């Protein structure tokens, strides 16, 4: 019900935009997060946005480079990634949960839906 797209092979310093499109559910009732997982590493919460789009939270590793946004009319959430580094290489997943906005870590919340992931590979 969540479809992540927009990944691929990108040069260091590039600026791809990932999309997370929903079907069967209305994303305007959900907070949405992006996670990533690199080979041999734990899954990391990258960014999270409230259902209204008024609040966002970022991992320190991407703060100032990535921007999460949403278009509820299109039932889609985006992750604009700028100034990519080799350490951003990972599979990126989107996830949705009904929990209201809070100050907890991105990984804390009980996500109800997960997308299938899109690979982002940064070449130097």
pLDDT digits (tens, 9 = 90+) for 46-62: 999 999 999 999 999 99
At 88, phi and psi to the nearest 5? Answer: -85, -5
| Better-predicted residue by pLDDT, 118 or 103 | 118
Are the C-beta atoms of 24 and 113 separated by less than 8 Å?
no
Q: Which residues contact 64 (CB under 8 A, 6 or more apart)?
A: none
Q: What value does the mean pLDDT of the chain take?
A: 96
For residue 65, what pLDDT is reported?
98
State the average pLDDT over residues 87-115. Answer: 94
């Amino acid at each position: 019900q969540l479809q992540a797209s927009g990944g691929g092979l990108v040069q260091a310093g590039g600026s791809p935009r990932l999309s997370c499109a929903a079907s069967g559910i209305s994303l305007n009732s959900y907070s949405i997060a992006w996670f990533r997982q690199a080979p041999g590493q734990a899954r990391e919460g990258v960014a999270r946005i409230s259902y209204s789009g008024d609040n966002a939270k970022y991992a320190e590793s991407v703060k100032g480079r990535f921007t999460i946004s949403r278009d509820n009319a299109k039932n889609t959430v985006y992750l604009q990634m700028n100034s990519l580094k080799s350490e951003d290489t990972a599979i990126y997943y989107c996830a949705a949960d009904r929990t209201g906005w809070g100050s907890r870590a991105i990984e804390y919340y009980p996500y109800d839906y997960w997308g299938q992931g899109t690979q982002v590979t940064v070449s130097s």
